[in-house]
Amino acid sequence: MDINDILSVASRFVISGKPERVERYGSGHINDTYAVTTPRRRYILQRLNTSIFTEPEKLMENMLLVTDWLRERIAARGGDPFRETLTPILTPDGESSVRSEDGSFWRMTAFIEDSFSFDRADDPSVLREAGRGFGRFMRELRDFPAERLHETIPNFHNTPLRLDALRKSVEEDAFGRLDSAKAEAEGYLSRAEAYSKRYEQAVRELPLRVTHNDTKINNILFDSNTHRALAVVDLDTVMPGLSAFDFGDAIRTGAATADEDTRHPETMGASVELFSAYARGYFDGAGHISEGERDALVFGAKLMTYECGARFLTDWLCGDTYFKTSRPMHNLERARAQLALLEDMERRGDELEHAIIEAEKETKL
């Protein structure tokens, strides 16, 4: 589709002014995201990846329910409901999406101006804010009727099933890539039993909440003026889940010493300082969590790193069909970086557990 086609998709939504400019936006791995500008405003227009989100209409139902719910909570605490959550833009018929001629599925949200996001931080005060923002997101959805949510990707954080997929891709080696990934396959599969066991225990014992499930650090926006956490975006995977998943996925990207995309796994590790900062903000934002949930937070960070790395490796072995890539070995390099991060988290396990205890103490003071 060329720019004019995208502009004509944009004009099918009820927007203020004629869409004049369109540019690629953000660094998400799944959807195609564009910023659309009219003489008056900007909008985010997204083509959903419908090979991954196979029932996009249901996903949009979730998004409308969740943003309506959050808007009320935000207004009730005196916040700005049009800046602190996504505002879906509808069509003249009240639909939340349109299909273009080629069958692709589009949705639009108001652009949240004067905000920024980042792929990795090195400033503890920003990480603390991220923790507060994602923690508050979970707290504000605490009483949300979870049964009204569709499961947009079934078994999204079912780590044992993700490992089955990895095992299968190793056995089949359909693209002849296993030779390039022997050490990584061994690194991931040798941990499968231990992590699956601990995962099953967590799922058995911990409360199911409504969680975001993709708390990558670039899925939270910060206010450019105050640098406070502003809005949690990318609501496509809001589904029932464990608090440890959301805590862990944010740590995986936010408290790492290198980018997820680094080609230098030797520079990848966990920053205890950033981890502590995130944990402090998180306890503050999330409010009460159970002892069991608290005790699973460090495990959540390891699990999400492990699971995501295993998914990158699977995608590498299956010919790069899931995550967007921009270089030939991208997914293999991502899998290497996540393995390096996991090894470092395992080495520093005690330090991380200690940081949780200290952060919790501080919130209780």
* Residue 72 identity (one-letter amino acid): E
Stretch that binds Mg ion, among 26-34, 38-46, 59-67, 182-190 (CB under 5 A): 26-34
Whether residue 246 contacts residue 234, with contact meaning beta carbons closer than 8 Å, is answered with no
Phi/psi region, residue 345 (left: phi>0; alpha: psi -120 to 50; beta: rest), is alpha
d(CA 127, CA 85): 19
Which residues, numbered 19-38, are part of the site for ligand ADP (CB under 6 A)? 25-26, 28-31, 33
Among 129, 184, 223, 234, binds ligand GN1 (CB under 6 A): 234
Among 28, 187, 269, 281, binds Mg ion (CB under 5 A): 28
d(CA 330, CA 327): 5
d(CA 9, CA 110): 15
Among 32, 214, 246, 343, binds ligand GN1 (CB under 6 A): 214
The bridge status of strand 115-116 relative to strand 98-99 is unpaired
Nearest to 67 by CA among 229, 232, 220, 242: 232
- The CB-based long-range contact list for 30-34 (8 Å cut-off, 24+ gap) reads 30/236, 30/323, 30/324, 31/236, 34/6
Residue 216 binding ligand GN1, by CB under 6 A: yes
Stretch that binds Mg ion, among 22-30, 144-152, 164-172, 276-284 (CB under 5 A): 22-30
Which residues, numbered 95-114, are part of the site for ligand ADP (CB under 6 A)? 109, 111-112
Stretch that binds ligand GN1, among 196-204, 212-220, 240-248, 344-352 (CB under 6 A): 212-220
d(CA 156, CA 255): 22
Stretch that binds ligand GN1, among 9-17, 27-35, 116-124, 173-181 (CB under 6 A): 27-35
Among 234, 246, 307, 315, binds Mg ion (CB under 5 A): 234
Nearest distance from C-beta of residue 308 to ligand GN1, angstroms? 5
Let me know if 315 is exposed, middle or buried by CB neighbors in 10 A (0-12, 13-18, 19+). Answer: buried
Residue nearest to ligand GN1 (CB): 29
Residue 246 binding ligand GN1, by CB under 6 A: no
DSSP calls for 209-224: EEE-S---GGGEEEET
Q: Which is nearer to ligand ADP, 30 or 268 (CB)?
A: 30
Give the binding site for ligand ADP (CB under 6 A).
25-26, 28-31, 33, 44, 86, 109, 111-112, 115, 117, 218-219, 221, 233-234, 236
Give the binding site for ligand GN1 (CB under 6 A).
28-30, 214, 216, 219, 234, 237, 260, 308, 323
